[in-house]
């Protein structure tokens, strides 16, 4: 019995040593981003139920923009701004590239009990938009598969309903801003509260396709200009 | 009867007049009359501008005078104080909203006497109680650099201060009590290097602004220079620079002090909280000679350690609970024996930041995590994860009590209420 306990202890310690070692492989990035994965989930693959969004596998340019937006006050979440306050553009670019390159499976979506009409409205907006409200289809920029377009446009699947609706709400309220011209702010402000709810509900109920990587390029022209899709603004250059 | 009133009245009036005169006189100490019309200044030489740029780094002017993500030196950032918010003004040479119309003499009067171009007294959130010690030549170089910037038209918002702190009279009273313009005096018995260090630390570096405690009216306590204190409104504790139990560097090799100031990390310690900002925006840009001078001066500060009060070891069940949490949450990085991992995660055994009597910083680091500043000497720092989401106050108190009393560490335990208070009070 005692020897069994010893064996178990030795195994556990061995396991621990392996994790720490793993943390120091990969140019040490795993160990360097432990502050990120504390909230964004192991390896940055948050579950669909949590508020903190998945960051693993998102386009690197998009992640980089969000990091500098938090640092420079265009996005408002004190914990994020606090962590990033004294980090350089170069290091944030490296962190973004690290998470962007991760290719990890997605958890299945949370079950939804949403009304069919709501889901249909959500799907309609995502696939076709609503010309009468000047809302372009989400798919027009975020890709037919909704897995984003490299390197700047994020995928919309594998995120929780609360997260998606609170981001659209934040854009409406000016709490979330992007590089100018801020296309998403413009689109979000066209959306009625019910439409935000419908889009977020439908997106959160979708299974992420096997091929979850962002598309390589846009299929057509962007419906409106987007500052976040161009080269990064030099807002942080003075730092 | 009427006559007595008259005498009393006259006496009181005289006293008030005397007090007002004294107040005005004390507020005008060491103020030179401004030149009637300043001779049109010759364009500043590139050398002078470069020198000014360096000095502006030393003074860390940009941190307060730039909004996050905003144009450099154009002001507008709110500086929180216990009396309200003071908005840092625009330092770019814009005529209407910045220093465009200021002369070098007016700029010197602001730095040395704390008086604005229009004669208004300035709030000491602008650290002129320290800047007063800089030389006129350094002030002129800073002025030349600021003049060389592109003007940015940006009006900073008016200060939001409570009555009576929003009046010039209250400020005049404060200054009469607590501010005297000063001149840095070289100590003949000390080396040139020591004197340079003292000049930087006491003057432009304005280290006292955080590391010297303040009285109830927000004035630096001159009787307790560098004794450490809670930074008002920010709620970080700036450790004493002259206490071996806090942040004295007397026992460190000079090179290690230089490394901490230049890169944010040394073999003994790393910077966090507001000091991370100071390293990130200011100290990492200083010349090795100046950092060395500061280190020489800091190492010479006479120790002020009081006898250590006896510490009761936390109860065994608290230590066990703390150890459990430590093993699950902390040991992977900080080591089973609190030994840390060199170059990545700090040791907790023998770490003064862990055993500091004031636990504000310790609790905040656990709540919010944090990255060391990314500097040229440490460009890819490691970060501490925030635990505010995953540990309850009571669990934080247990694990902190444990690390303060394991592996030879000795310090009073942390109570749940301490964690709660730090959680409620922390700034953003």
pLDDT digits (tens, 9 = 90+) for B137-161: 999 999 999 999 999 999 999 999 9
The rounded mean pLDDT for chain B is 94
- Structure confidence at residue B32 (pLDDT): 82
d(CA B53, CA A116): 64
pLDDT in tens, B26-59: 988 888 888 866 666 678 899 999 999 999 999 9
- Could you give phi then psi for residue B237, rounded to 5 degrees? -95, 120
- Structure confidence at residue A65 (pLDDT): 96
DSSP secondary-structure letter at A228?
A: G
Closest CA to B125 of B210, B237, B221: B210
Q: Give yes or no for A230 touching B (CB within 8 A).
A: no
Q: What is the mean pLDDT of residues A125-146?
A: 95
Distance from CA of A3 to the nearest CA of B (A): 22
Closest CA to B422 of B370, B367, B354: B367
CB contact under 8 A, A38 and B370: no
Q: For B371, which of A20, A24, A86 is closest by C-beta distance?
A: A86
d(CA B56, CA B205): 10
Q: Is A73 exposed, middle or buried (0-12, 13-18, 19+ CB in 10 A)?
A: middle
Distance from CA of A161 to the nearest CA of B (A): 20
- Structure confidence at residue A17 (pLDDT): 44
Distance from CA of A101 to the nearest CA of B (A): 18
- Structure confidence at residue A220 (pLDDT): 83
- Structure confidence at residue B305 (pLDDT): 77
Work out the pLDDT band at A230, boundaries 50, 70, 90. Answer: low
Percentage of chain B beyond pLDDT 70 is: 98
CB contact under 8 A, A83 and B388: no
Work out the pLDDT band at B426, boundaries 50, 70, 90. Answer: low
Q: What is the ipTM of this complex?
A: 0.91
Quote the CATH superfamily of domain A26-101. Answer: Cytochrome c-like domain (1.10.760.10)
How is residue A81 written in tokens?
Answer: 């701004």
Residue of B nearest to A76 (CA): B428
- Structure confidence at residue A2 (pLDDT): 45
Contacts of B72 in chain A (CB under 8 A): 238
Q: For A20, which of B280, B332, B369 is closest by C-beta distance?
A: B332
Helical ranges in chain A per DSSP H: 2-24, 29-32, 34-40, 60-71, 78-84, 89-101, 116-128, 138-142, 161-173, 183-190, 193-204
**B 260-299: CB under 8 A from A:** 276-277, 279-280
A231, pLDDT greater than 60: no
Work out the pLDDT band at B3, boundaries 50, 70, 90. Answer: confident
d(CA B68, CA A68): 11
Contacts of B66 in chain A (CB under 8 A): 238
- Structure confidence at residue B39 (pLDDT): 61
Percentage of chain A beyond pLDDT 70 is: 83
Contacts of A71 in chain B (CB under 8 A): 68-69
Distance from CA of B413 to the nearest CA of A (A): 26
DSSP secondary-structure letter at A107?
A: P
Closest CA to B226 of B236, B212, B238: B212
How is residue B254 written in tokens?
Answer: 């000079």
d(CA A66, CA B203): 38
Q: Give yes or no for A90 touching B (CB within 8 A).
A: yes
Q: For A74, which of B69, B280, B428 is closest by C-beta distance?
A: B69
CB contact under 8 A, B370 and A82: yes
Q: Give yes or no for B98 touching A (CB within 8 A).
A: no
CATH number of A116-229, picked from 1.10.10.10, 1.10.760.10, 1.10.287.80, 3.40.1260.10? 1.10.760.10
CB contact under 8 A, B333 and A31: yes
Percentage of chain B beyond pLDDT 90 is: 86
- For residues A10 and B10, the model is more confident at B10
Q: Which of A30, A32, A33, A38 to mutate to test the interface with B (most CBs of B within 10 A)?
A: A38
pLDDT in tens, B253-286: 999 999 999 999 998 899 999 999 999 999 999 9
pLDDT in tens, A8-34: 444 444 444 444 444 444 568 999 999
CB contact under 8 A, B374 and A91: yes
Q: Give yes or no for A91 touching B (CB within 8 A).
A: yes
Q: Give yes or no for B68 touching A (CB within 8 A).
A: yes
- Structure confidence at residue A169 (pLDDT): 95
**A 6-65: CB under 8 A from B:** 16, 19-20, 23-24, 28, 31-39
The helix/strand/coil state of A85 is coil
Q: Give yes or no for B369 touching A (CB within 8 A).
A: yes
Q: What is the mean pLDDT of residues A83-91?
A: 97
The rounded mean pLDDT for chain A is 85
- Structure confidence at residue B37 (pLDDT): 67
d(CA B383, CA B58): 26
Contacts of A87 in chain B (CB under 8 A): 371, 373-374, 381
Q: For B332, which of A16, A33, A72 is closest by C-beta distance?
A: A16
Q: Is B360 exposed, middle or buried (0-12, 13-18, 19+ CB in 10 A)?
A: buried
Q: What is the mean pLDDT of residues A150-164?
A: 92
- Structure confidence at residue B69 (pLDDT): 84
Q: Give yes or no for A237 touching B (CB within 8 A).
A: no
CB contact under 8 A, A236 and B428: no
Q: What is the CB neighbour count within 10 angstroms for residue A206?
A: 17
Entry field: residues in chain B: 428
Entry field: residues in chain A: 239
Work out the pLDDT band at B238, boundaries 50, 70, 90. Answer: very high
Q: Return the domain boundaries, chain A.
A: 26-101, 116-229
Residue of A nearest to B63 (CA): A239
Q: For B385, which of A38, A73, A90 is closest by C-beta distance?
A: A38
Distance from CA of A104 to the nearest CA of B (A): 22
pLDDT in tens, A177-229: 998 899 999 999 999 999 999 999 999 999 999 999 999 988 888 899 999 88
CB contact under 8 A, B371 and A81: no
Distance from CA of A149 to the nearest CA of B (A): 27
pLDDT in tens, B406-424: 999 999 999 999 999 888 8
d(CA A187, CA A189): 5
Q: What is the mean pLDDT of residues B381-406?
A: 96
Of the candidate ranges A218-222, B99-103, B300-304, the one whose mean pLDDT is the lowest: A218-222
Distance from CA of B173 to the nearest CA of A (A): 37
Q: For A35, which of B380, B384, B390 is closest by C-beta distance?
A: B384
CB contact under 8 A, B277 and A235: no
Distance from CA of B372 to the nearest CA of A (A): 7
The helix/strand/coil state of B384 is strand
């Amino acid at each position: 019995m005692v020897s069994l306990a010893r064996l178990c202890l030795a195994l556990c310690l061995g396991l621990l040593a392996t994790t720490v070692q793993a943390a120091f492989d990969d140019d040490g990035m795993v160990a360097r981003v432990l502050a990120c994965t504390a909230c964004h989930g192991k390896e940055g693959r948050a579950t669909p139920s949590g508020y903190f969004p998945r960051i693993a596998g998102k386009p690197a340019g998009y992640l980089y923009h969000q990091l500098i937006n938090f640092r420079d006050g265009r996005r408002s979440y004190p914990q994020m701004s606090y962590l990033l306050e004294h980090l350089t553009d170069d290091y944030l670019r490296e962190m973004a590239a690290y998470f962007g390159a991760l290719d990890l499976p997605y958890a299945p979506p949370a079950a939804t009990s949403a009304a069919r009409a709501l889901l249909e409205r959500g799907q309609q907006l995502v696939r076709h938009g609503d010309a009468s409200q000047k809302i372009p289809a989400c798919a027009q920029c975020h890709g037919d598969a909704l897995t984003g377009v490299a390197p700047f446009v994020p995928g919309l699947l594998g995120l929780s309903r609360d997260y998606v609706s609170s981001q659209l709400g934040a854009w409406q309220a000016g709490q979330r801003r992007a590089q100018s011209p801020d296309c998403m702010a413009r689109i979000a402000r066209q959306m009625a509260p019910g439409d935000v709810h419908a889009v977020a509900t439908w997106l959160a109920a979708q299974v992420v396709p096997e091929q979850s990587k962002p598309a390589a390029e846009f299929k057509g022209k962007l419906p409106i200009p987007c500052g976040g899709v161009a080269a990064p603004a030099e807002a942080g250059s003075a730092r | 009867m009427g006559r007595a009133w008259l005498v009393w009245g006259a006496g009181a009036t005289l006293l008030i007049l005397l007090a007002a005169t004294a107040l005005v006189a004390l507020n005008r100490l060491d103020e030179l009359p401004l030149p009637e019309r300043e001779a049109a200044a010759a364009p500043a030489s590139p050398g002078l501008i470069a020198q000014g740029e360096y000095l502006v780094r030393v003074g860390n002017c940009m941190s307060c005078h730039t909004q996050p993500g905003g144009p450099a030196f154009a002001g507008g950032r709110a500086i929180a104080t216990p009396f309200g918010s003071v908005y840092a003004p625009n330092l770019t040479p814009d005529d209407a909203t910045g220093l465009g119309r200021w002369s070098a003499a007016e700029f010197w009067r602001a730095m040395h006497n704390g008086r604005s171009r229009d004669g208004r007294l300035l709030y000491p959130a602008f650290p002129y109680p320290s800047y007063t010690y800089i030389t006129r030549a350094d002030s002129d170089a800073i002025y030349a650099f600021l003049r060389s910037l592109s003007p940015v038209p940006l009006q900073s918002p008016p200060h939001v201060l409570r009555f009576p702190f929003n009046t010039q009279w209250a400020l005049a009273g404060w200054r009469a009590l607590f501010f005297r313009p000063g001149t840095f005096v070289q100590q003949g018995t000390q080396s040139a290097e020591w004197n340079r260090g003292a000049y930087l630390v006491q003057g432009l570096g304005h280290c006292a602004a955080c590391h010297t405690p303040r009285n109830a009216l927000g004035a630096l306590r001159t009787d307790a220079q560098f004794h450490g204190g809670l930074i008002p409104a920010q709620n970080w504790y700036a450790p004493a620079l002259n206490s071996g139990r806090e942040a004295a560097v007397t026992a460190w090799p000079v090179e290690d002090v230089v490394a901490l100031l230049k890169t944010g990390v040394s073999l003994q310690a790393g910077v966090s909280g507001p000091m991370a900002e100071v390293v990130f925006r200011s100290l990492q840009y200083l010349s090795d000679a100046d950092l060395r001078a500061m280190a020489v001066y800091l190492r010479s500060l006479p120790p002020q350690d009081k006898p250590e009060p006896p510490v009761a070891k936390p109860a065994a069940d608290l230590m066990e609970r703390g150890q459990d949490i430590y093993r699950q949450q902390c040991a992977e990085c900080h080591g089973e024996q609190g030994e840390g991992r060199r170059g990545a995660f700090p040791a907790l055994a023998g770490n003064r930041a862990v055993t500091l009597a004031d636990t504000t910083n310790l609790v905040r680091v656990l709540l919010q995590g944090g990255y060391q500043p990314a500097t040229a000497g440490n460009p890819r720092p490691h970060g501490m994860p925030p635990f505010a989401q995953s540990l309850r106050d009571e669990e934080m108190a247990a694990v902190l009590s444990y690390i303060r009393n394991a592996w030879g560490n000795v310090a009073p335990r942390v109570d749940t209420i301490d964690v709660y208070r730090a959680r409620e009070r922390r700034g953003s």
